[in-house]
Amino acid sequence: MHVFRLKGNFETLDAYTPLLFDLGARGLEEKPGEVWAYFPTRLELPLPGEWAELPDTDWLEAWRRDLKPVRAGPFVVLAPWHRWEGPEQRILLEPGMAFGTGHHETTRMALEALAERVKPGMRVLDLGTGSGILAIAAQMLGAWAVGVDNDPAVIPQARHNAAANGVSPEFFLGTLENAHGVFDLIVANLYAELHAELAPLYPTYLVQGGHMLMTGILSERERLVDNAMRAQGFESLHRRPEGEWVHLIYRKP
């Protein structure tokens, strides 16, 4: 296992987390004064840090030991070895394979927003599905969910996770333009610049009155996304800041 060591902690390096996963990190771990990002292969990274080598078992064991269940709205996200007695609805995920274990604020806020807004029978698109967690949650809430991702590595993982939870959203490789039909709700944990770029396309894939749940947005870039959404005629329904992140909800009039 290859580890990329960055100076700082989860808080100071939080803004880099989605990028590290986008670039192929299989997991992150906080060490004294450093964050370690685990990669299956070494690659050129546009970030300050240095590479080191670890035997595979070290990081796997550390990862399993440190990973805690995550509660989000009516859900609790569990790894297969966790035990949980609470009344929450369980989402079982094999962690470390794709972004979306519920440990990141952006995923957690999206889970909570889905629980508030998804009604049985709705058609939901999860754009940038990663582990499939948001499509799985939407399906558990009674929706017909579709998850799309442009990373071929995550699609089998999302399908595996869905099967482990007894649900079967449709997952496919691609991006927004490859989605068929219109949706009552789109949930997207991307990043501000990509949301702004995709904003002109979002209305095509939403029914009238449909909701756009947008996460992965650093607060300092909120304006960029908000301007792009308003330019398309979207009505802002809700904003929820948490730490450096903001979760935004819009309605297509």
Ligand X SMILES: C[S@@+](CC[C@H](N)C(=O)[O-])C[C@H]1O[C@@H](n2cnc3c(N)ncnc32)[C@H](O)[C@@H]1O
Looking at the DSSP assignment, which residues form a beta bridge with residue 213? 187, 249
The response to whether 58 counts as a known ligand-binding position is no
Identify which range of 49-57, 85-93, 130-138, 159-167 contacts ligand X by CB under 6 A. Answer: 130-138
Nearer to ligand X, 54 or 159 (CB): 159
Task: Report, in this order, helix, strand and coil percent for the chain, each rounded to 5.
Answer: 30, 30, 35
Q: Binding to ligand X (CB under 6 A): which residues in 211-250?
A: 216
* Given 14, 149, 184, 226, the residue binding ligand X (CB under 6 A): 149
Quote the tokens at residue 96.
């470390």
Rounded to an integer, what distance in angstroms lies between the CA atom of residue 158 and that of residue 123?
18
* Given 18, 27, 203, 210, the residue binding ligand X (CB under 6 A): 18
Instruction: Please say whether the beta carbons of 162 and 132 come within 8 A.
Output: yes
100 counts as binding ligand X under rule CB under 6 A: yes
Q: Binding to ligand X (CB under 6 A): which residues in 184-203?
A: 189-190, 194
Q: Give the position of tokens 């949301």.
A: 195
Looking at the DSSP assignment, which residues form a beta bridge with residue 240? 247
Rounded to an integer, what distance in angstroms lies between the CA atom of residue 76 and that of residue 140?
12
Nearer to ligand X, 6 or 98 (CB): 98
Nearer to ligand X, 43 or 52 (CB): 43
- Interface positions with ligand X (CB under 6 A): 18, 21-22, 99-100, 107, 110, 126-130, 133-134, 148-151, 154, 175, 189-190, 194, 216
